[in-house]
Amino acid sequence: MYKVLVTDKVHEEGLNILKRNGFEVVVDLDAYRPEVLKERIKGFDVLIVRSRTKVRREVIEAADRLKVIARAGSGLDNIDLEAAREKGIKVVNAPDALKNAVAELVIAMMIVVARKAMYSYRALLEGKWEKVMGTEIAGKKLAVIGFGRIGREVTKKARELGMDVIAYDVIDMSDVAEELGAKFTKDLIEAIRDADFVTLHVPLTPETRNLINKDVIEKMKDGVIIINAARGEVMDYKALLEALESGKVGGAALDVYPEEPPQSEYLLKLIRHPNVFATAHIGAQTKEAQRRTSIEIAHRILQALGI
Q: Which residues are catalytic?
A: 231, 260, 281
- Does 191 bind ligand NAD (CB under 6 A)? Our answer is no
Binding to ligand NAD, residues 65-94 (CB under 6 A): 73-75
Given 179, 207, 218, 259, the residue binding ligand NAD (CB under 6 A)? 207
* Axis crossing angle, helix 265-272 with helix 237-246, rounded to the nearest 10: 40
Q: Is the Cα torsion angle 134, 217, 274, 101 positive or negative in sign?
A: positive
Choice between 25 and 167, CB closer to ligand NAD: 167
Site stretch for ligand NAD (CB under 6 A), options 26-34, 56-64, 78-86, 96-104: 96-104
Q: Which residue lies nearest ligand NAD, judged by its C-beta?
A: 148
What DSSP line would sit under 248-276, residue for residue? SEEEEEES--SSSS--SHHHHHHHHSTTE
Question: Is residue 283 close enough to count as binding ligand NAD by CB under 6 A?
Answer: yes
Among 14, 146, 232, 251, binds ligand NAD (CB under 6 A): 146
Q: Is 172 in the site for ligand NAD (CB under 6 A)?
A: no
- State in angstroms the smallest separation of the CB of 75 from ligand NAD: 3
Residue 157 CA to residue 193 CA, distance in Å, equals 22
Question: Which of 3, 125, 110 is closest to 67 using CA atoms?
Answer: 3
Q: Which of 11, 71, 221, 231 binds ligand NAD (CB under 6 A)?
A: 231
Contact 224, 199 (CB under 8 A): no
Of 36 and 176, nearer to ligand NAD (C-beta) is 176
Site for ligand NAD (CB under 6 A): which residue of 148, 250, 258, 262?
148
Cα separation, 158 vs 181, in Å, equals 10
Q: Which is it for strands 183-185 and 141-145: parallel, antiparallel or unpaired?
A: unpaired
Question: Of 11-19, 79-87, 155-163, 205-213, which part binds ligand NAD (CB under 6 A)?
Answer: 205-213
* Binding segment toward ligand NAD, per CB under 6 A, in 58-66, 134-142, 195-203, 299-307: 195-203
| 117-123: long-range contacts, CB 8 A cutoff, minimum separation 24 | 117/277, 118/276, 118/277, 119/274, 119/275, 122/274
Half-sphere exposure of 157 (CA within 13 A, CB side): 18
C-beta atoms surrounding 102 within 10 Å: 25
- Window contacting ligand NAD (CB under 6 A); options: 29-37, 114-122, 219-227, 228-236: 228-236
Residues in the chain: 307
The contact set with ligand NAD (CB under 6 A) reads: 73-75, 95, 98-99, 102, 146-151, 169-171, 201-205, 207-208, 229-231, 255-256, 281, 283-284
